[in-house]
Chains A and B, each alone.
Chain A
């Protein structure tokens, strides 16, 4: 089994960045979409109208910026570690989403849902104890 022992700290740091940028982008988009509302039709004109409304929202732009930064970091992490490592490891984001949904958007998060978030975090810890990279580069 090939493992990446050269960049573990770098992988963790970039996963932390992913965990911050992804949920932040989602929360901002959630906030923006709540304000804009749903599209009434999936026709071309309906979608154009939706895009026009989206492009006029500063919150949506900020959310998109966060998600673009998230994606750049995500690409870097995937160049160092397995997808089956990065995907569950980034699940810590769910705790952040619940926290931000609760504190920023005033959403109700029940105790059972908090328990779910904790188990997700436990799962992430278990995955975090496996080798980050098990494949060779295909390049």
Chain B
């Protein structure tokens, strides 16, 4: 057994800094690079791509990235774990194998985790009494069944551990939890059992710290953002894990950014609910047990984490079509910029009413004035300029499209000194709403498929 392993965060979301994984594998020693691609609505976007082309449906960025890092990973024996397989992990693995062949690699073993995509089994579940009710509203799935776009079970670390045991150099999954990507290599390397709750919780906490990439190593840091050195070359976080469950959060030397107790704390509180009940498929982590200590420059020791047994349910993430939105902006300048913007808003609303459009929601905000902080905002008396941002939402596509034709006329038929209308009429975009649910763990089984380079 290794006495420690270094797990590096390569991507915190789909659209993240593309140089980060390259830096992680080249700028210092690591054993694993983990890349998180999937947000709540990402799966529906990928499902749409797959419907158009059965060979798509995964994070395409990943293939180009693998082309860049694969030779280094092979040389340094670095394994890659990612949920970038989206709704088509098999096609993703095949695209990576094609790239590997092109690079002239001699061997490559990809472990593909399948079984999370339950879109085709919804009706079978329903007849077996698995209703997949909305856990927030209690509604039955019937309300949105015909508009369902994607349905995926959140798997945890266990299937990835299985893939690593089968000798995978790369593990590609669909909807795996962000935290499971980081926990899995610890379980595999240190032989942690599936019921060693404190250790699983420790690895889960490390996963939470890594899952948003640079957000724990100096990015989006509110405590003292000006003190963070060289954000242009930010080093993404690395979890140095030990068999007893202790983890050191650090980053490569000679990179920008900052790893401090404060940067780690800000990530710990990011998008959590009840801190005593951080529920994953692997365990329940108690965030009130976490102890942090600055143990060196850009080194934070995470210890004391306690965990409780996992629940007997998986979380399910589903998405459904829920109408359309469109947005537009106009910039009004001093004097009386705020009054002008508000007048334009009233005129627009009046014209929309005259058209009898089916609009479910209309919202106007003044950017540069109070849009972010509402009642808590400190507003300037007579600002140099404000941006009027208007948006509508409706089930009716035509109404949303018609709204888009009412913006430009305001320039010549509304209040004066207005500019900034660029990009033409706003186009309606689809609203994809999120349907959170739970499913008994016994109802779904993850499977592992190994794909290898053909000789």
Same complex for A and B? Answer no
